Structure 1
Amino acid sequence: MKILLDFVPLVLFFIAYKLYGIYAGTAVLMGATVVQMAIIYFMDKKLSAMHKATLALILIFGALTLILKDDRFIKWKPTVLYAAMAVALAVALWGFGKNFLKMMLGNQITLPENVWVRLNTIWVVYCLFMAAINGYVAAYYSTDAWASFKLWGYVFPLAFIIGQGFYVARHIVDDTDKPAEPPGDVQ
C-alpha cells in the first residue's frame, strides 16, 4: 500500500502538469506530498528521515520553482535527493562504520552482516544512477520529456525494489531455526 501511496503525488503532478503546466503541477505535487506525509504519519505515528528529507526538498525546490518561475528547480530536486542519499549512505558506512539501512530495517529483518554491507552498497549505486539519469534528462530534454520521464521512469524504483526483495529473501536469517539455548542448572 505504501508504494502506491508514494506514487500518488507523482501521478497527480503529471495530470496537473499536462492540464495546466509545470507551475500548477509543482503546486499540486507540493500539496499532495504534504497530504501523503500526513497519511504516513497517521499510519506510522512517525516520519522516517527519508520522508522528512523528501518533504523538505519538495517544499523548498517547489517554492523556488513557483517564486522564481523557473522550472529547473523542481526538475533538479530528484537529482539532489538521490545524490544526498548516496553520499549519506556511503559516508555513514565507509566513513563512520554505520549502516543506515541496517539501522532502519534491522529490527524488521535479520540478515548476515556482509549482506547488509552489500545492500548498502547496492543502494549507493542505485541512488547515484537515479541522480545521474534524472540530471541527464533534466539538463538535456524538454520539461515535457522530463515530466513524462518522471512518470514512466518510475519503472526504475519498482524494478529496484523487486530485485532487492529477491536478493534479501535469499539471505534472511530465520531466528526460529536457531537451536534453543540449553536450560541452566535445575536443582
Structure 2
Amino acid sequence: MSEKNVKPWVKMTLEMGPILAFFIGFVLLKDREFVVGGQTYTGFVAMTALFIPLLAASTFALWRLTGKLSAMQIMTLVLVTVFGGLTIFLNDERFFKMKPTMIYTLFAGILGFGLLRGHSYLRVVMGEMMPMDHTGWMKLTLRVTLLFVGMAIANELIWRSMSTETWVKFKTFGLPLVMFGFFMSQSGLLARHATQPENDDPL
C-alpha cells in the first residue's frame, strides 16, 4: 500500500486520542473498583483494558489512511498489548507502568547499535522530513539515544516512587512535552547540517 497524504489534525487525533482518552477515563474512574468474575479491579486496570483495543483501532486507522506505520508505532502497539495484557491478567498495575521504560530502552538500544556501526537508523525513519548531512544525523541520533535513556530512567523513578495519578499525568503530558521541547531545541543543529535530500547512508 503506497503512502497517502492525510490532514495533520487527523493524524494527530489518531495518535494522541487514545492517550488523552486513557487520561480522561483514569480521572473519572481512579476512585472506583470493578468486580469481574469475583476479581476486583481498579479504575487504572479497567482503563488499561479499554486502552488496548482503542490503541489498536487508532493504529489500524492510521495504517488505512496513511498506507504505512512507523517502527515506533508498531512496537508501541505490541508492547502495550503485551504489558497491558499482563496488567489485566495478573491484576497488577506495575506491568503497564513499565511499558514506556521498555519502549524507550528498546529504541535507545537500536539507535545505539546503529551508531556503533557508523549509521544513523534515525535517518531511515526521518530523513525525508529533515534532510541533513551524515554528520548532522549522527549527532542528532546520539542526542535522541541519550534522550530515550533519560526518559526510560525518569519513567522508572516516577512510577516506582510516586502515586499512580502522578505517573498518569507524567505519561500523558510530561513525556510528550519533553519530546517536543527536545526537537525544538535541535533547530540549530538542523540548520547547520541541512542539505538536499539524499540516500548516501545505507544500512
Give the TM-score, by structure 2 length. 0.78
For structure 2, the residue ranges without an aligned partner over 5 or more in a row are 1-7, 30-42, 198-203
Q: 1:31 to 1:165 in 2, by over 3 A?
A: farther
Q: Distance in 2 between matches of 1:40 and 1:111?
A: 27
Residue 6 (structure 1) aligns with: 15
Greater helix percent: which structure?
Answer: 1
Aligned residue for 1:116, secondary structure, equals helix
- Identity of counterpart residues, as a percentage? 31
Q: 1:31 to 1:140 in 2, by over 3 A?
A: same
> How much does 1:52 deviate?
0.9
The one-letter amino acid of 1:92's match is G
Do the aligned residues in 2 keep the contact of 1:90 with 1:124 (CA within 8 Å)?
yes
- Give 1:30-41 correspondences, 5 Å limit: 30-41=52-63
> How much does 1:4 deviate?
4.5
Residue 15 (structure 1) aligns with: 24
Q: Which moved more, 1:74-83 or 1:21-30?
A: 21-30
Do the aligned residues in 2 keep the contact of 1:65 with 1:71 (CA within 8 Å)?
yes
Do the aligned residues in 1 keep the contact of 2:14 with 2:59 (CA within 8 Å)?
no
Residue 111 (structure 2) aligns with: 89
- Give 1:44-59 correspondences, 5 Å limit: 44-59=66-81
Number of residue-to-residue matches in the alignment: 174
State which structure, 1 or 2, has the greater radius of gyration over its C-alpha atoms.
Answer: 1
Q: Which runs of 4+ in 1 moved over 4 A?
A: none
Do the aligned residues in 2 keep the contact of 1:23 with 1:69 (CA within 8 Å)?
yes
Residue 144 (structure 1) aligns with: 165
Q: 1:106 to 1:75 in 2, by over 3 A?
A: same
- CA-to-partner distance for each residue in 1:85-126, whole Å, 9 max, x for gaps? 1011001221x3331111222344421111000010011011
Do the aligned residues in 2 keep the contact of 1:12 with 1:28 (CA within 8 Å)?
no
Q: Distance in 2 between matches of 1:162 and 1:36?
A: 27
> How much does 1:25 deviate?
1.7
The one-letter amino acid of 1:30's match is I
Aligned residue for 2:92, secondary structure, equals coil
Residue 128 of structure 2 corresponds to residue 119 of structure 1: no
Aligned residue for 1:173, secondary structure, equals coil
Aligned residue for 2:123, secondary structure, equals helix
> How much does 1:44 deviate?
2.1
Q: Which moved more, 1:112-121 or 1:26-35?
A: 26-35
Do the aligned residues in 2 keep the contact of 1:16 with 1:24 (CA within 8 Å)?
no
Do the aligned residues in 1 keep the contact of 2:100 with 2:155 (CA within 8 Å)?
yes
Give the TM-score, by structure 1 length. 0.85
Residue 84 (structure 2) aligns with: 62
Residue 127 (structure 2) aligns with: 106
> How much does 1:18 deviate?
1.6
